[in-house]
Structure 1
Amino acid sequence: MHCEIRVEGTMSDMLTRAFPELEHVTISGQTVLFGPLIDEAQLYGLLDRCLSLGLRVVEMRRLPEPG
């Protein structure tokens, strides 16, 4: 499964390194983390990581599978 997690604000380089399994871009004052995930357990782990780092998740969505 592929997902996108939108976080409020621009994440520092240090914070983005906490998500090595995901790519990231900054769009309109939000950081968008995106990439493939193995399963829902990995997704919940990513969301928990966001919470523990004090990040405010604005939106999470599943993306269509490539190709």
Structure 2
Amino acid sequence: MNTLYEFRVSCSVSPEAALEMFPELKPVVIPEQTVLYGPVLDQAHLFGLLARFRTYRLPLTEMRPLPTRSP
């Protein structure tokens, strides 16, 4: 699979905390939101990420695969 995904949460999470919770994702903090993006290896990895959002009580508002670029 290895698809690039974007996850949006409706709260601000510091980049340091986001990297600690999701080391495989890159955080971008914008006013009142945090966007995390990175590769998702397979379905098990995706479900693991979703479980971590739930464990950390982060309000996930959007999750979507990002378009791949053609060479």
Which sits farther off after the overlay, 4-13 or 54-63? 4-13
TM-score, normalised to structure 1, is: 0.88
- Measured in 1, the distance between the counterparts of 2:20 and 2:63 equals 19
Give the paired residue count. Answer: 67
Q: Which of 8, 19, 23 is matched with 1:6 structurally? A: 8
Question: Where does structure 1 differ by over 2 angstroms across 4 or more consecutive aligned residues?
Answer: 12-16
RMSD: 1.3
Structure 2, unpaired ranges of 5+: none
TM-score, normalised to structure 2, is: 0.83
Structure 1, unpaired ranges of 5+: none
Matches within 5 A, 1:1-67: 1-12=3-14, 13-67=16-70
Percent identity reads 43
